[in-house]
Structure 1
């Protein structure tokens, strides 16, 4: 069995920060709307053929496991598009219902998406159009754990499987010391 990668960082990482986007119900939300909650943030797009669906299924599994554990707080998963041209409010809502009723989808203007991606250090790039006028978006494949104070806590790469991911989130929740400076 291959050892899965979970990165622990010391000090305060310059990841995350304030953002403002439109959720899949058409409501403007900001990062402050999630203060007081533990959140997972994943960046992807609805036309993704395989990676995003796999990661969303894993996130849904982790969230369900955490929510079923009475010893830790619930976890709110957020899916932020890196393809605002195609990922409308309706497209996000339709896409995410295939994975979990708990995942909240976010879209916005290109500038809003650029800003939140810069805050989380997410790379994304629209690929070339194919013969059908379709395209793929290359993007960072990381899920971010953010504490109830709005600060980045941990990230999980694509190779971290759900059981290890869940175990790590529970450990982070139990040992977390908030820093309310945002």
Structure 2
């Protein structure tokens, strides 16, 4: 009997902590998930369009950010293809939505190379090339992991976070798109961003 009571008490404690955690982690404002840890922040980076993208000038329209690199064998081209497909389905509804592809490999990804690479995808996807210091800063702001990994042929590849970050009209974190997320869910999330974000 005492053992059962102890189990019930622990269950109540765990449930209470879960409730408090959920309250603080998933507080909602205009439909956007507000995390306990801030995701996102200001940036000013060279773009494949020939201009400098200053995040302070993005207010008024939602946008998305994806971190990757052009020599990525699977995750990056798949994600960019999926985003292109979804943007195509949204059509004019998302005519002002911009997706920023931030390279985590600025050593190899020049702006010209990125510009050529991105011609295979929707023109609303714009490449951004940070310096090494700028990359460290924006990756920290977006809680993005990246690392250089040597390969057996003497070269290297990059490991990195494979999420698309959705940001609202005020530049605040709205949610994410996961790698190879179901097309209907991806479309639903972007429609919600455009409507509520």
Q: 1:65 to 1:17 in 2, by over 3 A?
A: same
Residue of structure 2 equivalent to 1:136: 157
Q: Which residue of 1 aligns with 2:190?
A: 169
Distance in 1 (alpha carbons) for counterparts of 2:46 and 2:96: 23
Report the count of equivalent residues. Answer: 166
Specify the alignment match of 1:180 in structure 2: none
Matched, 1:10 2:23: no
1:107 maps onto 2:129 in alignment? yes
Task: Compute the RMSD of aligned alpha carbons.
Answer: 1.9
CA distance in 2 between counterparts of 1:28 and 1:169 reads 25
- RCO greater where, 1 or 2, for CA within 8 Å and sep 6 or more? 1
Contact 2:70–2:114 (CA under 8 A) maintained in structure 1: yes
Query: Highest CA radius of gyration, 1 or 2?
Result: 2
When residues 174 and 28 of structure 1 are mapped into structure 2, their CA distance, relative to the original with a 3 A threshold, is closer
Does 1:157 pair with 2:178? Answer: yes
* CA–CA distance in structure 2, aligned partners of residues 15 and 79 of structure 1: 17
Q: CA deviation at 1:28?
A: 2.1
Separation of aligned partners in 1, 2:49 and 2:150? 30
Separation (CA, whole Å) in 2 of partners of 1:170 and 1:37: 13
Query: Where does structure 1 lack aligned partners over 5 or more consecutive residues?
Result: 1-7, 177-182
Scaled by the length of structure 2, the TM-score of the pair is 0.77
Contact 1:38 1:73 in 2 (8 A): no
Q: Return 5+ residue gaps in structure 2 as ranges.
A: 1-24, 29-33
Structure showing the higher helix proportion among its residues: 2
Note if contact 1:127-1:138 (Cα within 8 Å) is conserved in structure 2: yes
Contact 1:9 1:154 in 2 (8 A): no
* 8 Å contact kept, 1:125–1:139: yes
Residue 149 (structure 1) shift: 1.1
Partner residue in 2 for 1:92: 114
TM-superposed CA distance for 1:73, in Å, is 6.5
